[in-house]
């Protein structure tokens, strides 16, 4: 028979939103603490005197008004506690239980035991016409020299507004040289939506350790699915996707097709999201040849990023120069302002002249910062 007394509220979504949900709740207790209490009390060894009957004490359930179980707590308890989950809860007189992102074995147990069971799924911000216009109006001032990529991106994400029946995520491959705006574009989209980008670096995905991460292991181990449940954005960046071992691509077939990701412990549904993969290949033909057809044909769009022309390089030099210059003290600014090269050029003029030898934004960032620091170091050593 299902318990009708305790209310169970399951929340799927990011930690900060779960904390907002429970913030106003009074008399909160957390699961890790009561598991320890439960273990101490049920495993207590009572002194028994030979020949005397063992006194059986009736267990009086302690009242808990609001029990909180956040996503981090599942990894701190034993496998036995997971299997014995509802028994631990039944040891107490609980008014309300609030859980964040439970493993599905726990969710299924709770559904069977408690009649007052409710699930709530966090609604992530989605792409609409207003967002598309914001991206169009602000892209070129944030991502330099990639107007073709912008147009291709806007065309692909317009489907969110025009095809209302489309619930699956849009899966895009950003390809082209390193350091020209692929990763920054993903961050830019997430910022427009007011959310923190979900970012995974896939060049690390090479060994069996990451097989466990992708397909799931013990509930106490971290996993891709668990991190997806905790995410704060519906923009997913799988950076350097091409660097992962090809044997792992099968983990993403259903995710790319339907927006559903399952492992041994967790299940995630990604509606109306954007999955962005990046690679340094120069063409769609290269991508297909190296990644293989099964994953290649699951991409909805391929967005090319080009090498930066000289005008773009100079714009990026100005951006980084102004960024670092603005952080200097008034005294250091005077030193930079008074600097002249052997040919009489100021620092910014010298950097502009060297633009053709630069490669990408990362390269420019390093060069500009090092040049400023070198000038300031020489002043320190000469005084």
What's the structural domain count of the chain? 3
Nearest CA to 288 out of 280, 299, 296, 278 is that of 296
Same domain, 161 and 276: yes
Residue 14 inside a domain? The answer is yes
Residue 8 has a pLDDT of 96
Same domain, 279 and 159: yes
Same domain, 169 and 287: yes
Inter-residue contact 98 to 160 (CB < 8 Å): no
How far is 229 from 13, CA to CA, in rounded Å?
A: 6
Residue 290 has a pLDDT of 94
pLDDT of 21-68, one tens digit each? 999 999 999 999 999 888 888 876 554 555 555 555 677 889 999 999
Query: What 3-state DSSP class applies to 264?
Result: coil
Q: What would the two tokens of residue 34 be? A: 């009561």
Residue 99 inside a domain? The answer is yes
Nearest CA to 69 out of 58, 78, 77, 59 is that of 77
Nearest CA to 257 out of 276, 240, 270 is that of 270
User: Residue 345 — pLDDT band, cuts 50, 70, 90?
Assistant: confident
Q: Looking at residues 267-278, what average pLDDT do you find?
A: 92
How far is 170 from 329, CA to CA, in rounded Å?
A: 46
Same domain, 314 and 294: no
DSSP letters, 130-190, are: HHHHHHHHHHHHHSTT-HHHHHHHHHHHTHHHH-TT--SPEEEEEESSTTSSHHHHHHHHH
CATH code of the domain in which 275 resides: 3.40.50.300
How far is 140 from 188, CA to CA, in rounded Å?
A: 11
Q: What would the two tokens of residue 288 be? A: 């297909």
How far is 214 from 263, CA to CA, in rounded Å?
A: 7
pLDDT of 222-253, one tens digit each? 899 999 999 999 999 999 999 888 888 999 99
Nearest CA to 308 out of 362, 383, 242 is that of 362
Q: Looking at residues 351-374, what average pLDDT do you find?
A: 87
DSSP letters, 176-243, are: SSTTSSHHHHHHHHHHHTTSPPEEEEGGG--SHHHHHHHH--STTS--HHHHHHT-S-SEEEEETGGG
Residue 106 inside a domain? The answer is yes
pLDDT of 102-160, one tens digit each? 998 899 999 999 999 999 999 999 899 999 999 999 999 999 999 999 999 999 999 88
Furthest CA-CA distance within the chain: 104
Identify the residue with better confidence: 258 or 343. Answer: 258
Q: What would the two tokens of residue 63 be? A: 């009242």
CATH code of the domain in which 98 resides: 3.40.50
Half-sphere exposure of 98 (CA within 13 A, CB side): 22
Query: Beta strand 3-12 with 92-100: parallel, antiparallel or unpaired?
Result: parallel
Range with lowest mean pLDDT among 91-95, 218-222, 280-284, 326-330:
218-222
Residue 14 has a pLDDT of 95
What does pLDDT average to over the chain? 89
Same domain, 165 and 298: yes
Residue 179 inside a domain? The answer is yes
Same domain, 319 and 350: yes
Give the range of the structural domain holding residue 203, as residue numbers without chain letter.
Answer: 129-304
Domain boundary among 256, 289, 304: 304
Identify the residue with better confidence: 44 or 187. Answer: 187
pLDDT of 4-33, one tens digit each? 789 999 999 999 999 999 999 999 999 999
Same domain, 259 and 142: yes
pTM of the model: 0.86
The C-alpha angle 159, 230, 12, rounded to 5 degrees, equals 80
- Give the residue carrying structure tokens 């412990």: 265
Residue 74 has a pLDDT of 87
Same domain, 89 and 134: no
Residue 340 inside a domain? The answer is yes
Residue 51 inside a domain? The answer is no
Residue 48 inside a domain? The answer is no
Domain boundary among 276, 304, 332: 304
Same domain, 85 and 155: no
Same domain, 14 and 117: yes
Residue 383 reports pLDDT greater than 80:
no
How far is 13 from 162, CA to CA, in rounded Å?
A: 27
Residue 89 has a pLDDT of 93
Give the residues across from 28 on adjacent strands: 66
Nearest CA to 266 out of 152, 115, 135, 107 is that of 107
The C-alpha angle 59, 63, 69, rounded to 5 degrees, equals 110
Same domain, 142 and 273: yes
Residue 335 inside a domain? The answer is yes
Domain boundary among 238, 272, 304: 304
Same domain, 343 and 275: no
Residue 51 has a pLDDT of 57
Query: What 3-state DSSP class applies to 274?
Result: strand
């Amino acid at each position: 028979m299902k318990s009708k007394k305790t209310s169970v509220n399951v929340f799927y979504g990011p930690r900060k939103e779960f904390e907002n949900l429970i913030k106003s709740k009074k008399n909160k207790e957390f699961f890790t603490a009561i598991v320890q209490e439960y273990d101490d009390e049920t495993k207590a060894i009572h002194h028994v005197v030979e020949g005397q009957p063992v006194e059986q004490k009736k267990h009086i359930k302690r009242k808990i008004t609001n029990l909180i179980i956040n996503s981090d707590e599942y990894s701190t308890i034993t496998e036995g506690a997971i299997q014995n989950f509802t028994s631990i809860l039944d040891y107490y007189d609980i008014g309300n239980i609030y859980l964040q992102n439970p493993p599905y074995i726990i969710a299924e147990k709770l559904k069977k035991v408690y009649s007052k069971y409710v699930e709530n799924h966090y609604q992530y911000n989605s792409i609409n016409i207003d967002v598309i216009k914001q991206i169009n109006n602000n892209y070129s001032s944030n991502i330099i020299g990639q107007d073709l990529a912008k147009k291709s991106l806007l065309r692909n994400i317009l489907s969110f507004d025009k095809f209302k029946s489309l619930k699956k995520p849009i899966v895009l491959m950003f390809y082209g040289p390193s350091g020209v705006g692929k990763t920054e574009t993903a961050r830019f989209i997430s910022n427009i939506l007011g959310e923190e980008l979900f970012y995974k670096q896939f060049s690390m995905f090479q060994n069996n350790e990451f097989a466990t991460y992708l397909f799931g292991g013990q509930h106490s181990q971290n996993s891709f699915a668990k991190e997806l449940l905790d995410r704060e954005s519906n923009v997913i960046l799988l950076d350097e996707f091409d660097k992962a071992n090809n044997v792992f691509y099968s983990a993403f077939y259903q995710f790319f097709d339907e927006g559903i990701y399952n492992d041994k412990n967790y299940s995630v549904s990604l509606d109306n999201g954007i999955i962005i993969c990046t690679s340094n290949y120069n063409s769609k033909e290269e991508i297909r040849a190296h990644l293989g057809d099964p994953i290649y044909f699951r991409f909805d769009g391929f967005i090319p990023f080009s090498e930066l022309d000289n005008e773009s390089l100079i714009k990026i030099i100005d951006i980084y120069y102004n960024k670092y210059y603005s952080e200097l003290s008034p005294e250091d600014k005077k030193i930079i302002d008074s600097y002249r090269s052997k040919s009489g050029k100021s620092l910014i003029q010298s950097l502009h002249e060297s633009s053709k030898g630069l490669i990408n934004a990362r390269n420019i960032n390093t060069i500009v910062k090092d040049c400023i620091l070198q000038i300031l170091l020489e002043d320190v050593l000469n005084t």
